[in-house]
Chain A
């Protein structure tokens, strides 16, 4: 697997102000990488460093193995970029803007542009200034995808899109992934990351806190099981069981928080008369929230 994005100790200060600090990360070909963090964590700073709009204070980044400072134009030839704070030329029509960008790039298949516009039910003949937030976002997405780039760098791509268009966008991402494109995707919307990404990096206060496969995260994630018994259960009856990270006893009911296999619990509770059982997975959201908190929650951290 080829590394598409590499960062090594990538650091950016704005004067005294911290942008990002010591980011070290490799994203490989074909990954859909979710870059997740609260607003102001440094997502946009990282993206703008990759595109050479701003320059690192120290450290470096490479895209397609090329240094972002030395070879920015070659890099951008094969990158589709959707800015987070999307601003477009309001006095142009959408098709004029797309033609302009297609001309600057060369080799854009206009039939594909029209195809994208159809998919997003986007009217290209209107003035950009008249567009709603969502329509501008569609235009941003179309210009990012229209030249079928090897790498897509998308800064909060679904913001402003209605749910139907979000689904269309996820399908577009899935297709890109199937075609082997690499996608670097910043977001603060957790279900979205869970839906489309293969791997996720979590950034907080300018630092990369953790990088995980989505599958691993889901596996690692917790399950809550609640049993109601016919008889009262004494406090601490199941405390010795493996995989149980917490157990709450409340007369006839016991609530377990489990990480991993639930089999030992099932075997143990079978000794009593079980009247009811409710089980649900703790959402990834809860897992992520633990990362976001200034003081990471112990329960999840060690789970």
Chain B
């Protein structure tokens, strides 16, 4: 039999495309739910503060310091930024959205192994590296859309209910949030790529997030926590209060560096081991 002439087709990121197509419904649910929830939360701001400013401030001043440490800087609660920071960006959004990125990260290789679809996918003439990178790129795009829909929810509420929100701060906190959850998703992917253990990878990543959160929160109260603070991912997320003071480039560089390291390690790990055993 004569060897068929190899057709050199131009590179098209089919796996990237297919991943987004397959996940489009889930992605839309997430965007609608997170955007909607944000809008709903933000739209309560005017009713809450109207005429209650003084009472709220008095209440906040009576709270013990550890409450403030855990649940945000209540002093700024009565400004739109302070309200949104405490209600959404401090705790809720990072922990809910990391569920999306961690699950996505796990699905990139380990999820295909568990579903046993990895064999039929890799029957095609594609490298493991290509699968990881294209699906990873899909994660970057999908997560960006969710974070953007959260910001859009805030913006829409501010427009409709006529309160001022600092656009620069909103963009900054969105970027920091995005960097945080992508870093966690990449960490989860790296562990799962190395071990094929999705539960372990999810557990370790969640633990890193929770410990990060507490270290950063208690930094004001405890000297030990203050010293450990550079080890906390949450320190780089909102240690410099991006919602109030804008983008902190150094923090984003830390996230970018970590993400690249986890991604490279994740690619190396998955090329070294047996798949689907």
Contacts and interface: CB of A to CB of B under 8 A. Distances in A.
Interface string A57-92: 000000000000000111011111101011111011
Interface bracket on A:
35 or more
Contacts of B122: 51, 53, 76
Contacts of A100: 14, 18
Contacts of B277: 14, 54
A83 B120 contact: yes
Contacts of A54: 274-275, 277
Most buried by A among B7, B118, B119: B119
A30 interface: yes
Contacts of B22: 89, 91-92
Given A54-B277, A87-B117, A179-B1, A81 B123 contact: yes
A174 to B, nearest CB: 15
Most buried by B among A77, A179, A181: A77
A272 interface: no
A51 B126 CA distance: 12
A92 B121 CA distance: 13
A53 B120 contact: no
A262 B51 CA distance: 112
Contacts of B116: 83, 85, 87
A103 B12 contact: yes
Given A30-B1, A89-B117, 15 more contacts: A74-B125, A76-B122, A76-B123, A81-B119, A85-B116, A85-B119, A86-B120, A87-B117, A88-B120, A91-B22, A92-B22, A101-B124, A103-B12, A106-B7, A140-B120
Contact of A53 (B8, B126, B274): B274
B3 interface: yes
B15 interface: yes
Contacts of B119: 48, 51, 53, 81, 83, 85, 87
Nearest to B126: A104
B47 interface: no
A289 B3 CA distance: 39
A33 B117 CA distance: 26
A104 B12 CA distance: 8
A85 B14 CA distance: 25
The secondary structure that dominates the B interface is loop
Interface residues of B, number: 28
Given A30-B1, A148-B4, A53 B124 contact: no
Most buried by A among B3, B22, B124: B124
22 contacts: A14-B277, A51-B123, A53-B122, A53-B276, A54-B277, A55-B274, A73-B125, A73-B127, A74-B125, A76-B122, A76-B123, A77-B6, A81-B123, A83-B116, A83-B120, A87-B117, A88-B117, A88-B120, A100-B18, A107-B9, A148-B4, A150-B1
Interface string B125-166: 111000000000000000000000000000000000000000
Contacts of B1: 29-30, 150, 179-181
A46 B124 CA distance: 18
A276 B96 CA distance: 84
A100 to B, nearest CB: 5
A47 B117 CA distance: 16
A262 B196 CA distance: 60
A143 interface: yes
A101 B15 CA distance: 10
B59 interface: no
A126 interface: no
